[in-house]
Amino acid sequence: MSLGDSVADGPPFDASHKCALVRAVPPCQLCAMSRFLTSHAAGLPSTVPFTGPEALERRSGLPFRARLGANESLFGPSPKAIAAMKQAAEGAWMYGDPENHDLKQALAAHHGATPGHIAVGPGIDGLLGLLCRLVLDHDTPVVTSIGAYPTFNFHVAGYGGQLHRVPYKGDHEDPEALVSAALSTKARLIYLANPDNPMGSHHPASVIEDMVANLPDHALLILDEAYADLAPAGTVPMIAADHPQVIRMRTFSKGYGLAGARVGYALTNPDLALAFDKVRDHFGMGRISQAGALAALADQDWLKQVQDRTLAARTRLSAIAEANGLRPLPSATNFVTIDCGRDGDYARRVLAELGRMGIFIRMPGVAPQDRCIRVSLGDDGTLDSLEEALPLALKAAG
């Protein structure tokens, strides 16, 4: 298997497969392995939404020279955050504060809310799983977009929810279609990312505010704002922290450069925020991660530097794409999605060829978005590697 294999963002997570169809293991052994599982868990596929770059490197035996597929911040975290984590490492023999007190206080001040409006967890991915555990019963209807962030689908399937999907409108998620589908299905959850992954597009704040104003009474909107720190002015909507039907999710993984620390948080009404205490791992946040996030939040000057470097890298990456006859889509994130101008098979060949040259990228997993590749932003050296490899990959794929 090449370095370029299995790095699409993937099709909508499908829980209909039985384990005997997913793993190359004799059915008798599968029965033995799964005899303690619930029938629902036994029926889930033994897969994860993404194949990590480390797994691809192990398969090929070669390291990547440019890691541009996971939307991490190659600009790194604040030096103050690094120093705080180094200092906290001396106390790693102690559990982290199970109440996340200091971080909640700082986040509340940052957002003009109260600590009671904040739930802290291991990245947005972890918070999505906790929320699904809190609100989904078996076959509870949930609405999302075809090709949107697959980890959400993974958690919905894991807790037995019933996914309903609407198509993108152009290269944007479609708020009107999501609300309409929620009305027709009586969905309890609606998922929308703004800015969007994997397309990098965004809606202005007014569109999201209009969506919130038209939510059906039975629906809770998950507004995934992972990339909000890097989005253009006018993207983040004005939504009261007390709103009973909205939970906003943020992360330190993108603009703050702490993907490996796994720190995310939800901003929502106090009743829902408090409910996370019913199911979360109370010692799930380590001291080092807590210290790093607290110092990163305090260093807004570093975040501003990252925002400036992000803009410059978007411009350069877009120019690289255009120089090779490709069309970069407008981006509000730390990646640029690039239209390869043909079908998904061609885009997958481009991705695979780049992987063989040591360039790790990903791509949307569902047509028609799979005509694109998705490239994270990087520093000059990393983009130099991409600029060198891309024309060769296109030639080999063509």
Domains detected in the chain: 48-75+302-397 (3.90.1150.10), 80-299 (3.40.640.10)
- Label the pairing between strands 189-193 and 162-166: unpaired
Q: DSSP letters along 169-229, please? A: BTTB--HHHHHHHHHHHT-SEEEEESS-TTT-----HHHHHHHHHT--TT-EEEEE-TTGG
pLDDT tens sequence for the chain (398 residues): 344 444 566 544 444 333 333 334 455 555 565 789 999 999 998 877 788 999 999 999 999 999 999 999 999 999 999 999 999 999 999 999 999 999 999 999 999 999 999 999 999 999 999 999 999 999 999 999 999 999 999 999 999 999 999 999 999 999 999 999 999 999 999 999 999 999 999 999 999 999 999 999 999 999 999 999 999 999 999 999 999 999 999 999 999 999 999 999 999 999 999 999 999 999 999 999 999 999 999 999 999 999 999 999 999 999 999 999 999 999 999 999 999 999 999 999 999 999 999 999 999 999 999 999 999 999 999 999 999 999 999 999 98
Cα(1)–Cα(358) distance, integer angstroms: 13
Report pTM.
0.92
Q: Which helix (H) or strand (E) holds 313?
A: helix 300-323
Cα(51)–Cα(361) distance, integer angstroms: 11
Cα(207)–Cα(240) distance, integer angstroms: 16
